[in-house]
Structure 1
Amino acid sequence: MDDVRRKGLEKMNEVYGWEMPDIQGDPYFDLTVEHLFGTIWTRPGLSMRDKRMLTLTAVTALGNSDLAEIQINAALANEELTVSELKEMAVFLTHYLGFPLGSKLDGAVSKVAKQRQKAAEKGAGKDTAEDKRANVNAAVRMHSGGTVHDE
């Protein structure tokens, strides 16, 4: 594995908060790992929090609440943003993107916060293997159009 790919996978793991498999041979995944995460997400100039907020703004503008949920969960897990700050983002973005998209982000924040609260109450605190597999599959689909199959 070359340095750019290794650096990209490390950053991807940091951004998502879980271990991404190194999927070989998928050109979209290769581009995502090596360019998006190996080059763009590792650039200096913006903090991880800044990048997370920009990403959440973009996925909110696209109306993609599944992607927003992944980013919200990672932001909370990495302690980059609080639930209160995420809710405030939704209010703020509502005035630029419109009520339907802003409220969709607010709903995603509420959903993720409830899921995390339930996990904490059960004493889990960590995602189950099934949750991790679903998160990895969602991220892979987002970046490559493919899926990771259970082994």
Structure 2
Amino acid sequence: MTTPDPGRRARGLQRMSEVYGWEFLDGPGDFFGYTADHLFADIWSRPGLSDRDRRLLLIGLLAGTNQPDVLGIQVPAAHHAGELDDEALREVVIFLCHYAGWPVGARLNTIVEETIGRARREER
């Protein structure tokens, strides 16, 4: 990868922080560079889809390809950002169970209920 454009990197880091809900600082290596400079500064910043739209697509893809580790990041981030509330997350589970399979839906349901429970505990 070439030397990063500092403005692009800053936009990417800012967008990553908005999407995930915690602060991102610069990281090492080409993988991090492509993630910040391309995926977030470019792709997550394009017009045409809302963050909620992107998140729903990503959650569906992650569930369909059986990636609960990344779902464990995306579901809480969507909930924290207000993109998907308790009811919407539970509807996503029911919907995806019928297309991605019950075992996938069950794993997603666990992530959703843990996310909702954690948010309720933090509200207290």
TM over 0.5: yes
| Deviations 1:71-94, CA, capped at 9 Å, x for gaps | 111111111111110110111111
Letter in 2 for 1:118: R
| Paired positions, count | 120
How far apart, CA to CA, are the structure 1 residues paired with 2:105 and 2:122? 26
Of 60, 76, 80 in structure 1, the residue corresponding to residue 79 of structure 2 is 76
How far apart, CA to CA, are the structure 1 residues paired with 2:117 and 2:69? 15
Structure 2 matches for 1:2-151, cutoff 5 A?
2-24=6-28, 26-121=29-124
| Deviations 1:118-146, CA, capped at 9 Å, x for gaps | 2222xxxxxxxxxxxxxxxxxxxxxxxxx
How far apart, CA to CA, are the structure 1 residues paired with 2:49 and 2:85? 19
1:96 deviates by 1.1
Letter in 2 for 1:101: V
TM-score (ref. length: structure 2): 0.90
| Deviations 1:10-68, CA, capped at 9 Å, x for gaps | 110000000012113x1111010011101100000000100111111111122222321
Runs of 4+ in 1 over 6 A off after TM superposition: none
How far apart, CA to CA, are the structure 2 residues paired with 1:103 and 1:43? 33
Q: Structure 1: give runs of 5+ residues left out of the alignment.
A: 122-151
Cα RMSD of the aligned pairs, angstroms, is: 1.2
